Amino acid sequence: MDGTRSWPPNTSPEPRLSIDDFCALVWSRGLERYRDLPWRHTHDPYAIWISEVMLQQTQVTRVDGRWQRWLERFPTTQALAQADPADVLEEWQGLGYNRRALALHTAAGMIVTQYEDFPHQMRDLLALPGIGNATAAGIRAFAFGLPGVYLETNVRTVFLHELFPQEEGVSDRQLVPLVEAACSTDDARGWYYALLDYGAYLKSTVPNPSRRSKSHVRQSRFVGSHRQKRGELVRMLLAAREMGLSTDDVVRGLSSFEQSANRPSVSRDDALALLSELEREGFCHMQNDMWIL
């Protein structure tokens, strides 16, 4: 540390550690808790992008294995862009929101048609579907070593724990200038690994500090939810991708799924509403009176 950096003025509340002391602490704790994860052995922006999207909603232990399998099936941006969307959805099963798989496929097509190399400017990354500020900053830091504001749950946890130990409802607007000021311009990749690993350790050993974030939202119940029905319908369509499903097939299949969990059957109107929703999002369409992916 050069000793010349300081926190941005008018930071409220005032951070209790100097920027140099905070950074030294994070580097030390991060090195102690370093996780040797497979996506940390590459600088390939495509591979890092895939890992970032997978990790948004899925535990690290589950992504380790699925990430490698994805890259075997779709090893490059071009391979993903040229893949059948149904194959992409099939490979994504169990990794969270299916719309993320379609966004990956669409974004891959845009990258191969609009850029000679994988984009690294924030404005270009943010123009791609499914890529927000955190994902774009992660790609820039881990693939290109570029500094930026990579504010995800583990990073947020560290800043809340060390700089806002008592405060509730801390907004990202308060955190962003601190994250930006602390990010090492010399080793953004290593710096964010340290933050991620220290944050993961904190979440496993103290009451999760990220719950004191204003942006913290408890995940709604999945079992029996609209999201679960959507996921089951996508799986049904994938299983019947050669022949497709009639609306009656969908009603019977979803009703059987719900009844197996002692929940009410799905009405035809509800099934049609789900199908129309998926159709609008590009998951399926009607062909010869059959719903197909």
Confidence of residue 255 (pLDDT cuts 50, 70, 90): very high
Confidence of residue 1 (pLDDT cuts 50, 70, 90): very low
Query: Virtual CA dihedral for 36, 37, 42, 47, nearest 10 degrees?
Result: -170
Closest CA to 293 of 242, 226, 232, 251: 242
**pLDDT tens digits, one per residue of 101-119:** 999 999 999 999 999 999 9
Mean pLDDT of the region 280-286: 93
Look at the pTM and tell me if it is higher than 0.75.
yes
Residue 288 predicted with pLDDT over 80: yes
Cα 285 from Cα 89, distance rounded (Å): 15
Q: What is the DSSP string of 1-25?
A: --S---PPTT-SSPPSS-HHHHHHH
Q: Per the residue annotation, which of 14, 52, 116, 258 is the catalytic one?
A: 52
Cα 136 from Cα 119, distance rounded (Å): 10
Cα 148 from Cα 7, distance rounded (Å): 15
Q: So what's the pLDDT on residue 224?
A: 81
Mean pLDDT of the region 283-290: 94
Q: So what's the pLDDT on residue 219?
A: 59
Q: How far is CA 98 from the centre of its chain?
A: 12
Cα 66 from Cα 214, distance rounded (Å): 32
**pLDDT tens digits, one per residue of 170-195:** 899 999 999 999 997 789 999 999 99
pLDDT above 70 as % of the chain: 95
Confidence of residue 168 (pLDDT cuts 50, 70, 90): confident
Cα 4 from Cα 132, distance rounded (Å): 32
* Cβ atoms 115, 124 nearer than 8 A: yes
**pLDDT tens digits, one per residue of 257-271:** 999 999 999 999 999
Mean pLDDT of the region 125-135: 97
Q: Please list the alpha-helical segments (H only) found in 36-84.
A: 45-54, 60-73, 77-82
Q: So what's the pLDDT on residue 215?
A: 67
Cα 41 from Cα 269, distance rounded (Å): 50
Residue 95 predicted with pLDDT over 90: yes
Cα 6 from Cα 18, distance rounded (Å): 7
**pLDDT tens digits, one per residue of 198-211:** 999 999 998 767 67
Let me know if 52 is a catalytic residue: yes
Q: So what's the pLDDT on residue 214?
A: 61
How many CB atoms are located within 10 Å of the residue 12 CB? 7
How many CB atoms are located within 10 Å of the residue 84 CB? 11
- Listed range (70-84, 145-159, 160-174, 229-243) with the worst mean pLDDT: 160-174
* Cβ atoms 190, 26 nearer than 8 A: no
Q: So what's the pLDDT on residue 19?
A: 94
Q: So what's the pLDDT on residue 2?
A: 47
